[in-house]
Amino acid sequence: MKELKVTPIKNGTVIDHITPGHALKVLHVLKIPESTVSVVSILMNVNGKKGKKDIVKVENRELDPKEVNKIALLAPKATINIIRDYEVVKKYSVQLPTEVIGLIKCSNPTCISNAREPVESRFHVISRDPPRIRCYYCEREPDDITVGII
């Protein structure tokens, strides 16, 4: 059987081992503009060594720590691979810090972090995989973490 391969990227980032079904949420975090001229490949439900996974490949793009932490909330097993001149020159696993600040909106509408006050959202990370967080202010645990990502 013929195997189709995606175009290799010269320089950029491959986000590998994404929880299946979460590639589009990762793209949302990256805010790739519709006007992009870079190569962007999205693979969903491909077979990896440890079962199904999604992969996102973005040319000419590196990630900042905030973006990496948002990806850790969506896909705790993700690896970030930096590509230079077609080769993987750096690889690391995402890892949530013990607190996340300003990355996700609290699902409690009366939480002080949602009031018209300059209070950034703040969550304790109570589990990394599966990701579970609890609001520092109101103690609410969101049902679905992926909904509130800012």
Do 124 and 98 contact (CB within 8 A), yes or no?
yes
Looking from the CA of 115 toward its CB, the CA atoms found within 13 Å total 8
Query: With respect to ligand ATP, which residue has the nearer C-beta, 81 or 113?
Result: 81
Query: With respect to ligand ATP, which residue has the nearer C-beta, 38 or 79?
Result: 79
Residue 107 interacting with Zn ion (CB under 5 A): no
Residue from 39, 43, 44, 138 in contact with Zn ion (CB under 5 A) = 138
Residue from 53, 57, 70, 122 in contact with ligand ATP (CB under 6 A) = 57
The partner in contact with residue 121, picked from ligand ATP, Zn ion, none with C-beta cut-offs of 5 to 8 angstroms by kind, is none
Residue 16 interacting with ligand ATP (CB under 6 A): yes
- In the block, which residue shows the tokens 């645990």? 141
The partner in contact with residue 53, picked from Zn ion, ligand ATP, none with C-beta cut-offs of 5 to 8 angstroms by kind, is none
Neighbours of 67 (CB within 10 A): 20
Dihedral sign from CA coordinates of 33, 87, 44, 132: negative
- Rounded to an integer, what distance in angstroms lies between the CA atom of residue 43 and that of residue 3? 14
The partner in contact with residue 8, picked from ligand ATP, Zn ion, none with C-beta cut-offs of 5 to 8 angstroms by kind, is ligand ATP
